Amino acid sequence: MTIPTDGEVRRRLAVAGEQAARVVDLSNLGLPEVPAGIAELGAADWVDLSGNAIATVPSWLFDLDGLVWLDLSGNRLAELPGAASAPAGLRRLDLAGNRLSRLPRWLAELTRLAWLDLAGNGLTAVPPVVAELPGLRHLDLAGNRLADLPVRLADLAALDLLRLRGNAFTTLPPQVYRLPGLTGLDVAANGLSGLADAVTELTELRWLDAADNRITRLPATLRSLSRLRRLDLSGNRLTELPGLPAALSDLDLRGNHLRHVGPGLREAPALVRLDLSGNSLTEVPPALRELTGLTWLGLAENRISEAPEWICGLTELRWLFLAENPLDGPPSYLRSMSRLEELDIRVDPAERAAR
């Protein structure tokens, strides 16, 4: 960690005092405490104290006039001041990578707070005050030890993005499905065995990341998510696909147990990027021939022995990955694919010799 010098702190504070935007950047200086010189500025729009060694925060920090963005991530905070003036204009508060287990009640007065990052704090429960922030649009709870959520979380009607990656959920709490304004949901790297039929209630969802779980099946209601564009289901235990949303453009199914994909892909004609690498496919799925808009196709690390000639009909394809399959080599007809920029058909020499 950088050893702070008074000279560098003074220099940065002087720069902040000269700027119309009033940005105070004291990040990554190894500071053990919040420099009192910030208070002398009287006002600041953005204060960045990330990546230091700060263990306590003085209440006066929240009294700065005009404070909109406060970054305290990557410090050693175990708590925030129990009593402080809630900065009325604060819109973004980054507390990621600390040691917080609770938050003070006065945070509920931050009616304009739109972005709250509590990732990587080791939380076992979400502080109740989080559910009392009516303007919250982005909530990051990734990398904690959560297995449940407050019931009142469903009251966050403005919530647009929710990150629950890297926690201890085995099922998604029902209140997640009662957040109809969500456009992005990250539940990757938990212990989820599936998604509930209630996923259909997330009518505004544009992207869903459920990678690296234990999902064995998907609900048939998934196809009703008419706005879903990106879906990451890599690193799960899927053996089959249900119907898919028609507007889907990016689908990641790497590292599952798929032997075939059935007709589900035909319901997603808008697919542009599809990754089926690391499954148990024995052929290039025939349903792919109808996905004429594909530009990126991953079929590496399967058991495919032949690249069918109809694949040349995918005229928009630019990236094709067939590495680590029992193929003898690239068929000559692939040369007719004029837009193809990259073709990976490599085979492990040891595997080739063993055939």
Three-state DSSP at 107 gives helix
Intervals of the chain under pLDDT 70? 1-5, 20-21, 348-355
Asked if 323 contacts 347 with a C-beta cutoff of 8 angstroms, the reply is yes
State CA 126 to chain mean position distance.
19
Rounded to a whole number of angstroms, the CA Rg of the chain reads: 25
pTM: predicted TM-score of the whole model, two decimal places: 0.93
pLDDT value of position 13: 81
pLDDT value of position 351: 55
Name beta bridge partners: 250. 230, 273
pLDDT of 225-239, one tens digit each? Answer: 999 999 999 999 999
Alpha helix (H) residue ranges in the chain: 6-18, 37-41, 349-354
Angle, alpha carbons 127-130-133 (nearest 5°): 160
Distances (CA, A) of 322 to 228, 251, 346, 348: 27, 17, 7, 12
In the CATH scheme, what is the code of domain 272-355?
A: 3.80.10.10
Q: How far apart are CA 197 and CA 55, in angstroms?
A: 44
Backbone angles phi, psi at 276, to 5 degrees: -115, 20
Q: How far apart are CA 109 and CA 112, in angstroms?
A: 9
Distances (CA, A) of 44 to 41, 97, 198: 7, 23, 44
